[in-house]
Structure 1
Amino acid sequence: MDLLPAIDILDGKAVRLAKGDYARVTVYNDSPVDQAKEFEQKGARWIHVVDLNGARSGSPENIDLVEKIVAQTSLSVEVGGGVRAIDTIARLVDAGAARVVLGTKLVTDKEFAQAALEDFGGALTAGIDAKGGEVAIEGWREGAGVPAADLVREMAAMGYGHLVFTDIARDGMQTGIDVAAYERIAAAFGHPVIASGGVATIDDVRALGAVAASIEGVITGRAVYEGTLDLEAALVLCARLS
């Protein structure tokens, strides 16, 4: 089970949003690259990067920062936000991203989702963000009217092997993680999933460890930045649970 510290990039800075609200932004580091280096120094192997500008505009705006993170660290970088064209995926892969997350297009353009998978295979991750059981798209600003579990099953049938599932209501709130929800999503997907949203303390990581067969990784953001989750201790725990 991997632990993926999150770096959400907005206007060139490492930030976190509360419940995906662009009006509720906290800046944690003026340099996403320096933040990535800090995570690496503490033992991280993976990071999860979200281009929030790209998620909002529909086209990544921070690929240069992804390139710098790849060049200046040995981290494996999973990145998403505004990935809505084949050439964008290619640019991110060429920039050195280990995995590229598709979100909105999974809902709005199934032919694209299939074509991207045929071209890039295991380099792709399905990113499904949900609130109240319904998929949210366009940088979490719109409900898609699609039950999350249905989309998860559809992506599994299409051939996606990686899935980041985000519980928007808990994201950035440090309210604790809904373990049963991720177990249900993993069962629908047929593969372990990457859990995102609500991690507050190491007890949440430990709770996911109890269903480790359903969990490929866990993304943590605000809890690490604000010190309620000790990153080094959590990385050690995740290594034991692998």
Structure 2
Amino acid sequence: MPSLTQRVRRAFQRPGAPVVSYVIIALCVLGYLLQLVVPGFTSLMQFHSAYVGTFFLAGPESGFSGLIPFEPWRAVTYGFVHSTLGVLPLHLLLNMYTLWIFGTILEPMLGRGRFITLYVFGLVGGALGVYLLSPQTAVIGASGALFAMMGALLVMQRRLGGQTTQLLVLLAINFFYGFFAGGVSWQAHLGGLVVGLLSGLILAETRQPKDRTLRIVYFVVLGVVMVVLFAIAPGMLWQR
């Protein structure tokens, strides 16, 4: 009988195996364990607009005082920590189950590089949604990236002539649940979904090998737009 190490190695080496999804799940589980044993780990990782938009939110009108460090990586790291409230890690379990479902679909379809791009852009998109719509709140969890995955799959399915009714229903249920449920950041869901839809459009229209350069250009443009929104929108909001 093969050992656990051998079985894990075979799973990772299997053609089309969603290795990136497995790694992200492992990192989220590790992050959760660190939250339990390292005091203050959650607060170091969570997204908070003050740390990403220091130069725009730290003025007298913002309610923030003193010197706030500029930590833009929080727009990604927040997706690797989850709520530790309750006896069971329900927040982590639900998100990882969703990631496993859609990761096993999208990662083999896109390839590992494009899947990583989609996931990271989705995380940043979720953070951007919070930054624009609720700039003084903190958020944790991978939901922004998960909504990006669902949005991207929806666009690609429609472009390729696939069935999208079930996915639309699932998206609607999850989004409106987050909108009305307490303690859930619908802003992160919306930001991730919008970026996922745009990313899905890029991926669907540049799926041929000859389109690689164009795909990179499109994602660079999308990234620049997101950075610009991080830079200017909160300042405009505070001036109103």
The TM-score with structure 2 as length reference comes to 0.27
- The structure with the larger Rg is 2
Larger RCO (alpha carbons 8 Å, 6+ apart): 2
The TM-score with structure 1 as length reference comes to 0.26
